[in-house]
Structure 1
């Protein structure tokens, strides 16, 4: 067995720890056979064809996440944002590792930045209401012990209303964030399928 191939395969395996041992073993065998059949025996030739082990692992994981979302829609469900965030991460890394993926990578980054700015603005508005309201209520409490108690009651009552509105809006905002993550994941998967799916994860094309 060629030593360069075995070294490359071992390094690839170390970058695929997210997959279970069975899948890693299948991938090792697939790429070992690919390199042997293509007569790629030097490190230079191997990396010229497949890239470094780390870059190939990124492409495999991106392809894998696209394949899973295609065959198991539950992983792309809006109720499972952790799957969507993981998919976005791997697709971004996969696009970075593919020469033709750079324009798609930049598009996806622009989309992510756009939604991050929207979320930050939303959080800023809520914080901008929360902090001043708390300060006004704090200052209004002493008025309850003076002849201006009615003014104190007014400000405290208004503050309670503002707090109630914020806490009611909070869950809605959280659902909006989850929806944004789901939307970005769908865009990422759509872009990823243009250059990745079925090309690096052997099960992708078959499924």
Structure 2
């Protein structure tokens, strides 16, 4: 058994990724919520809000989604890394929620199916493009090497091979930004989907628990 003060202390420890001001705002909000709801024991708090870890994961997911939206709306670049981070905290938040209603089970099944499918598709696309780049580099180097070997005996043939090698290098340099753009688009799409799933999941949970 823990006191409400101990509950909030543990919640603060679980909120370590947030800065001190953000932690203070969260703790003030939930302390006020607990007082307004007249929750007097830790059991009542846990029944309403979940364990400190469960609540912290929800808060971190909400914060990550909000930060992602702010960056997007302000024109800041939303990197694949930030989308992956957001997806991860969303998954942790959903997995930490007790599955007690059928719709939650359906959401989790859809979530896992999407994760597996997305990883396979994105991995295959990126692996294919990476293989094309590596193959292009090897082929370009080979052509350039052959051209150097022929330049003294068959000048124009050697020059042609060297030209092909340089063209290949140029194509590779064109493909690299394209791959980065594609990775950004794919991870943004994944992030948007997870954000949508989490919003629906969270709305239903809040309605069920009566939490704003």
- The alignment's TM-score, normalised by the length of structure 1, stands at 0.76
Question: 1 CA distance for matches of 2:15 and 2:74?
Answer: 21
Contact 1:85/1:181, CA 8 A, preserved across alignment: yes
Aligned pair partner of 1:80 in 78, 81, 87: 78
- Count residues with an aligned counterpart: 196
Aligned-residue offset at 1:74: 2.6
What are the within-5 Å matches in structure 2 for residues 39-188 of structure 1? 39-41=40-42, 50-68=49-67, 72=70, 74=72, 79-81=77-79, 82-98=81-97, 99=99, 100=104, 102-113=108-119, 114-145=121-152, 147-188=153-194
Contact 1:11/1:53, CA 8 A, preserved across alignment: yes
Question: 1 CA distance for matches of 2:164 and 2:147?
Answer: 11
The CA deviation string for residues 43-62 of structure 1, in whole angstroms up to 9 with x for no partner, is xx765654443332212111
Structure 2 residue runs without a partner (length 5+): none
Aligned-residue offset at 1:148: 2.9
The change in CA–CA distance for 1:128 and 1:40 in structure 2 (over 3 A counts) is farther
The change in CA–CA distance for 1:168 and 1:67 in structure 2 (over 3 A counts) is closer
Aligned-residue offset at 1:3: 5.0
The CA deviation string for residues 82-114 of structure 1, in whole angstroms up to 9 with x for no partner, is 543332222122122223252243144135302
The change in CA–CA distance for 1:169 and 1:142 in structure 2 (over 3 A counts) is same
C-alpha RMSD of the superposition: 3.1
- The alignment's TM-score, normalised by the length of structure 2, stands at 0.74
Question: 1 CA distance for matches of 2:185 and 2:138?
Answer: 27
Structure-1 residue corresponding to 2:11? 12
Structure-1 residue corresponding to 2:26? 27
Aligned-residue offset at 1:164: 1.0
Question: 2 CA distance for matches of 1:139 and 1:102?
Answer: 56
Contact 2:90/2:195, CA 8 A, preserved across alignment: yes
**Structure with more relative contact order (C-alpha pairs < 8 Å, separation 6 or more):** 1
Structure 1 residue runs without a partner (length 5+): none
Name the SS for the 1:196 alignment partner: helix
